[in-house]
C-alpha cells in the first residue's frame, strides 16, 4: 500500500465533500428554476449553429426488493404493471422535450439507471430503446450502457440487451460475502455473477463494470480481502469502488441497518488500502475518483490521452455534451443550466398529465460558476489546469482571480497531492486518490458554507 498512498494521508483528508458529477452540485439547485427556464435553454440550443451530440439518461425507479444501503430514488414493488404505465409517461415526456429541442439530434451516450432498469421485461426494454431511436440518432461508436441487477437477468436477457444496441454493462455486486449480503438484504451468489460476466464477454459487450461498496454492515478487512480476490479472478474491465455513507436520517432504507454492525473508521481505511493495493497489483489503472479500469479499456485510454470527461453518470470517454434526462428525479444539463425532474411518481405523472415538463428545480449558472466548473472538471478528469488556457477561455487573469485558492493549495502541495508552478496546477499520483479534496479548494459554495454534513466522506 505504501507505494500508492500513505494511510495517514487518507485519514487526514477523510472529510465530507461533493462527488462533483456537476458543479455547482445538485444540492445548490433552486425551485425558482422551472419549466420555462428549461424550455428556454432547449430553444437556445436548437438555435445554435453548432449542435454537438447529446447524451440521454433514463431513470427507471422500480426494484422488486429493497437493498438496505441504497440511497437512490426508487420504488419498491412486485407489481410489474407499474412499468408499463411508467413507459407511457416516459414517451410523453420525451415528446414534450423533442417539441422544443427538435428531432433527429445525434446521441453519443445513452445510460439507463435506477432503481433497476432490468426490472423492465425484454419487450418493455425494446419499446424504450425504440422510443428513443424514433426521436434521436444513436451514432456508431457511442457509449450505450445499462445498470444490471444480476438477479434479474439470464444469458438470454444479456443477448437481448446486446441486440438492442447496449455495448456496456454495469453489474451491481457490492460484496460477495454471504453474511454481508444478508445484512444488506441483497443475496446473489458469486457463481451467478461469474457466469453472467463470462456470458457478457462471449456475447461481445465492449466493457463490463462491477460496483463494489466498502463499509457495509458485517464487513471486515479479512472478509473484504476475500471479495477482492474474487473480483481479481472475475477481472471486469472496470471497477467502481464506493464508500458506504450511513445517513439514515436522509435515507429511510438505511434505518434497517444495525449501526453496531458497521465497520469502524480504521477498518474502512484498511479495506480501502487493501482494494487500492489489490487493483494496482492486478494491473488496473486508477482512472479517477472511485474508478479503476484495465489498461486497454476505453476509459483508461481516455485518461492517458487527456480525453476523459465527467457527467452525472460519472466518468466518460464521450465529449462534454448536453444531457437530456428522462424519468422521475432525473437530472439534465443543457448549456449553462441544470434541471431536475419531480422526485415522486405522483408529482411526475401529474405534471405530464397537465402537458407540462416535470421540472421542479434547477440552476442557471453564473459566469463564475462556469469558470469554476471548467477548473474543477479539469482537475477531476485531466489532473492538470493550465492557467493561461483557462484565462484566455474565460477572460480572466488566473493567478489574480484564484489567489486565495492558490494559497490554500500550498498545504496540499506540502503533503505531495499537487504541484503548483507559475503556469499550471498538476495532480500528483498520490493526489488522484484524494482528487475530491483538491477540487473542493475551488468550490465557492463550500467556501461560503462550511456545513458539509449533506455530503458523504471522501474515504
Where are the alpha helices (H) located in 187-264, listed in sequence order?
190-203, 221-234
Whether residue 424 is annotated as binding a ligand: the answer is no
On whether 63 is known to bind a ligand per the annotation, the reply is yes
CA dihedral sign, ordered 139, 73, 216, 119: negative
* pLDDT tier at 314, thresholds 50, 70, 90: confident
DSSP 119: G
Q: What are the tens digits of pLDDT across the range 387-426?
A: 999 999 999 999 999 999 999 999 999 999 999 998 999 9
Q: What is the pLDDT of residue 12?
A: 82
Q: Of the candidates 269, 277, 274, which has an alpha carbon nearest to the alpha carbon of residue 215?
A: 269
- pLDDT at residue 451 is higher than 70: no
Of 359, 375, 315, nearest to 109 (Cα)? 315
All three cell numbers of 243, joined, read: 464508500
C-alpha pair distances (Å), 47 with each of 44, 101, 162, 178: 5, 9, 35, 55
- Cβ atoms of 31 and 455 within 8 Å: the answer is no
Q: Is 327 annotated as a binding residue?
A: no
pLDDT value for 41? 95
What pLDDT, on a 0 to 100 scale, did the predictor assign at position 51? 67
Backbone φ and ψ of 79, nearest 5°: -90, 105
Strands 424-427 and 418-420: antiparallel
- What span, in angstroms and rounded, lies between the C-alpha atoms of 46 and 37? 14
What per-residue confidence (pLDDT) applies to 125? 98
Q: What is the pLDDT of residues 149-162, one digit of tens each?
A: 999 999 999 999 99
Matching residue, cell 419531480? 342
Q: Given pLDDT bands bounded at 50, 70 and 90, which one contains residue 2?
A: very low
> Does the annotation list 142 as a binding residue?
no
Amino acid 4: pLDDT: 59
Q: How confident is the model at residue 47 (pLDDT cuts 50, 70, 90)?
A: confident
174 is in an annotated binding site: yes
206 appears as a binding residue in the annotation: no
Is residue 453 part of an annotated ligand binding site? no
Rounded CA-CA distance 375/331 in Å is 22
CB 172 within 8 A of CB 148: yes
The pLDDT confidence band at residue 455, using thresholds 50, 70 and 90, is low
- Domains in the chain: ranges and CATH: 7-323 (3.80.30.20), 366-448 (1.10.10.920)
Instruction: Confirm or deny that 331 is annotated as ligand binding.
Output: yes
Cell of 377: 472538471
Confidence (pLDDT) at 16? 76
Task: Tell me, yes or no, if the pTM score tops 0.85.
Answer: yes
| Residues ≥6 apart with Cβ < 8 Å to 148 | 117, 118, 161, 169, 170, 171, 172, 196
C-alpha–C-alpha distance, residues 428 and 384, integer Å: 9
Q: How far apart are CA 356 and CA 359, in angstroms?
A: 8
- Is position 147 annotated in a ligand binding site? yes
Q: Percent of the chain at pLDDT above 70?
A: 96
Residue 47 assigned as binding residue: no
The response to whether 186 counts as a known ligand-binding position is yes
What does the alpha-carbon distance between residue 311 and residue 55 come to, in Å, rounded to a whole number? 10
Q: How far apart are CA 86 and CA 92, in angstroms?
A: 10
Q: Is 321 annotated in some ligand binding site? A: no
**How many CB atoms sit inside 10 A of residue 101's CB?**
21
Q: Is 414 annotated as a binding residue?
A: no
DSSP, residue by residue, 296-314: TSHHHHHHHHT--EEETTE
- The number of residues in the chain equals 459
Mean pLDDT of the chain: 92
Helices (H), 309-443: 345-353, 367-381, 387-394, 398-401, 403-414, 435-440
Helix (H) or strand (E) holding 144: strand 137-148
Q: What is the mean pLDDT of residues 14-21?
A: 82
CB-based burial, 132-148: b 16+ in 10 Å, e otherwise: beebbebeeebbbbbbb
Amino acid at each position: 500500500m505504501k507505494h500508492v498512498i500513505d494511510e495517514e494521508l487518507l485519514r487526514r483528508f477523510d472529510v465530507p465533500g461533493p462527488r462533483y458529477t456537476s458543479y455547482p452540485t445538485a444540492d445548490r439547485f433552486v425551485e425558482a428554476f422551472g419549466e420555462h427556464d428549461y424550455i428556454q435553454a432547449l430553444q437556445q440550443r436548437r438555435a445554435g449553429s453548432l449542435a454537438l451530440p447529446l447524451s440521454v439518461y433514463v431513470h427507471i425507479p422500480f426494484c422488486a426488493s429493497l437493498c438496505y444501503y441504497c440511497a437512490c430514488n426508487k420504488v419498491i414493488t412486485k407489481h410489474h404493471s407499474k412499468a408499463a404505465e411508467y413507459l407511457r409517461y416516459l414517451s410523453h415526456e420525451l415528446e414534450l422535450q423533442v417539441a422544443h429541442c427538435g428531432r433527429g439530434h445525434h446521441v453519443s451516450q445513452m445510460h439507463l439507471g435506477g432503481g433497476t432498469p432490468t426490472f423492465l421485461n425484454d419487450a418493455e426494454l425494446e419499446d424504450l430503446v425504440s422510443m428513443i431511436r424514433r426521436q434521436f440518432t444513436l451514432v456508431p461508436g457511442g457509449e450505450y450502457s445499462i445498470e444490471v441487477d444480476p438477479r434479474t437477468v439470464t444469458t438470454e436477457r444479456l443477448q437481448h440487451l446486446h441486440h438492442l444496441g447496449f455495448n456496456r454493462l454495469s453489474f451491481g455486486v457490492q460484496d460477495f460475502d454471504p453474511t454481508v449480503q444478508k445484512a444488506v438484504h441483497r443475496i446473489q451468489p458469486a457463481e451467478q455473477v461469474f457466469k453472467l460476466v463470462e456470458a457478457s464477454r462471449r456475447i461481445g459487450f465492449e466493457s463490463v463494470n462491477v460496483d463494489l461498496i466498502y463499509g457495509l454492515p458485517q464487513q471486515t478487512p479479512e472478509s473484504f480481502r476475500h471479495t477482492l480476490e474474487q473480483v481479481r479472478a472475475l477481472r471486469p474491465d472496470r471497477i467502481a469502488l464506493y464508500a458506504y455513507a450511513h445517513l439514515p436520517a436522509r435515507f429511510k432504507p438505511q434505518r434497517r441497518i444495525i449501526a453496531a454492525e458497521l465497520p469502524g473508521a480504521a477498518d474502512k481505511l484498511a479495506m480501502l488500502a487493501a482494494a487500492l493495493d489489490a487493483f494496482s497489483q492486478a494491473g488496473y489503472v486508477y482512472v479517477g475518483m472511485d474508478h479503476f479500469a484495465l489498461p486497454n479499456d476505453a476509459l483508461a485510454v481516455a485518461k492517458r490521452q487527456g480525453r476523459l470527461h465527467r457527467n452525472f453518470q460519472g466518468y466518460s470517454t464521450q465529449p462534454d455534451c448536453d444531457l437530456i434526462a428522462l424519468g422521475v428525479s432525473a437530472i439534465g444539463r443543457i448549456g449553462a443550466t441544470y434541471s431536475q425532474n419531480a422526485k415522486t411518481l405522483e408529482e411526475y405523472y401529474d405534471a405530464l398529465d397537465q402537458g407540462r415538463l416535470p421540472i421542479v428545480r434547477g440552476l442557471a449558472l453564473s459566469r463564475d460558476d462556469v469558470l469554476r466548473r471548467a477548473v474543477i472538471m479539469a482537475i477531476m478528469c485531466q489532473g492538470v489546469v493550465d492557467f493561461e488556457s483557462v484565462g484566455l477561455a474565460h477572460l480572466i487573469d488566473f493567478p489574480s482571480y484564484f489567489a486565495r485558492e492558490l494559497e490554500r493549495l500550498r498545504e496540499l502541495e506540502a503533503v505531495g497531492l499537487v504541484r503548483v508552478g507559475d503556469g499550471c496546477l498538476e495532480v500528483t499520483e498520490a493526489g488522484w486518490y484524494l482528487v475530491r479534496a483538491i477540487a473542493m479548494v475551488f468550490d465557492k459554495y463550500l467556501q461560503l458554507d462550511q456545513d458539509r454534513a449533506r455530503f458523504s466522506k471522501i474515504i
